Amino acid sequence: DGGITQSPKYLFRKEGQNVTLSCEQNLNHDAMYWYRQDPGQGLRLIYYSQIVNDFQKGDIAEGYSVSREKKESFPLTVTSAQKNPTAFYLCASNNNRELNQPQHFGDGTRLSIL
């Protein structure tokens, strides 16, 4: 089945540690996105990538980094500079070659501080 796979489902980070969240898609989508969701709030865009080897900062990129070396993969690293990393992280993708295309989501990673 085509879809977006995020791993791990749950992740715990120690103080001062970098952690990497995985996102893989087999939908042949060019565009991929990372969001963060905090309780009672809407999704906020961290980084996005419209094409391989290119990515842009979203609204809350500080303390995060990404890479896009393959079309299928868009890993997110939460660095030690992100002081409040506890949240639900969602990866999405869409076909950006046409207008008005919705984004489809993976099932998310819950990150907590130890």
- What residues line the site for other proteins (CB under 8 A)? 31, 35, 40-45, 48, 50, 58, 88, 90, 94, 96, 99-108
Q: Do 38 and 87 contact (CB within 8 A), yes or no?
A: yes
Q: How far is the CB of 5 from other proteins (least distance, A)?
A: 12
Locate 63 and state its tokens: 């303390």
Closer residue to other proteins in complex, CB, 12/17: 12
Q: How far is the CB of 87 from other proteins (least distance, A)?
A: 13
Strand 54-57, strand 109-113: pairing: unpaired
Closer residue to other proteins in complex, CB, 30/67: 30
Can you name the residues that pair with 111 across neighbouring β-strands?
Answer: 11, 87
Closer residue to other proteins in complex, CB, 45/52: 45
Q: How far is the CB of 22 from other proteins (least distance, A)?
A: 15
Q: Do 54 and 68 contact (CB within 8 A), yes or no?
A: yes
- Identify the CA nearest to 88 among candidates 25, 18, 40: 40
